[in-house]
Amino acid sequence: MKLLIFLSLIVLLSESSFSSTDYHKEVRITKVIDGDTVIAQVGENPVRLRLAEIDAPEIGQPWGLNAKKALEAKVLGSWVTLEVIDVDRYDRLVARLNFDDRQINRELVSEGHVWVYRRYMRDESLLLDETIARKNKIGLWAAGSQIAPWEWRRSNRNERVNSTRKVNRRCDEKPYCRDLKTCEDALFF
């Protein structure tokens, strides 16, 4: 399914200067969702893009808004060169962004706005940029120890699961929606 979506997006992007051999395309960034996700205008269609190889703090996490603002300052409203790497499980294109001969993904790492996403990293030289930012206490590293976004998401996911209330139920009940407290209860009835 992901391959089909990826190939469909490649065909969509190939309508002008996009070449399926180099996976590059000029697009305009119309919205910044957070520090590693943007919306780009591709022809008439808005397309959600996930910046490759990096992971920004979530909006509710320390430095999350700073990372979003940094990305907005760099690319919002600008035409950037998109280097498509993959399609993720949320059907977003995963890409590197280049603007005025600058690698935006790398800049975000060097300026201490994001982590290198080791799980999906292809360019190991990004680790050096992150190490330098950490040593020099740049950006989010100035505050000392930080929780990586993937760990923060996992922790919050576990809290949500543990905080759901269980409802005592019997098979002969036919509750109203307002009586159901969890998805498990809804599936039961």
pLDDT digits (tens, 9 = 90+) for 77-105: 999 999 999 999 998 999 999 999 999 99
- Residue linked to tokens 């950490």: 134
The predicted structure's pLDDT at residue 23: 73
pLDDT at 55 over 80: yes
Q: Quick one: which of 177, 178, 181 has its CA closest to 165?
A: 181
Q: What is the DSSP letter of 182?
A: S
Is residue 124 a contact partner of residue 65, using CB atoms and an 8 Å limit? no
Exposure letters 123-148 (e unless 16+ CB within 10 A, then b):
eeebeebbeebbeeeebbbeeeebee
Q: Are 65 and 59 in contact (CB under 8 A)?
A: yes
pLDDT tens figures, 152-172 = 999 988 776 665 545 455 555
Quick check: 39 pLDDT over 60? yes
pLDDT of residue 179: 60
Q: Decide if pLDDT at 45 tops 90.
A: yes
Residues acting as catalytic residues: 50, 58, 92
Residue 161 DSSP SS3: helix
The model's pTM: 0.74
Average pLDDT over residues 35-64: 96
In angstroms, the CA 3 to CA 26 distance is 22
pLDDT at 137 over 50: yes
Q: Which residues, 6+ apart, have CB-to-CB distance to 61 below 8 Å? A: 147, 149, 152
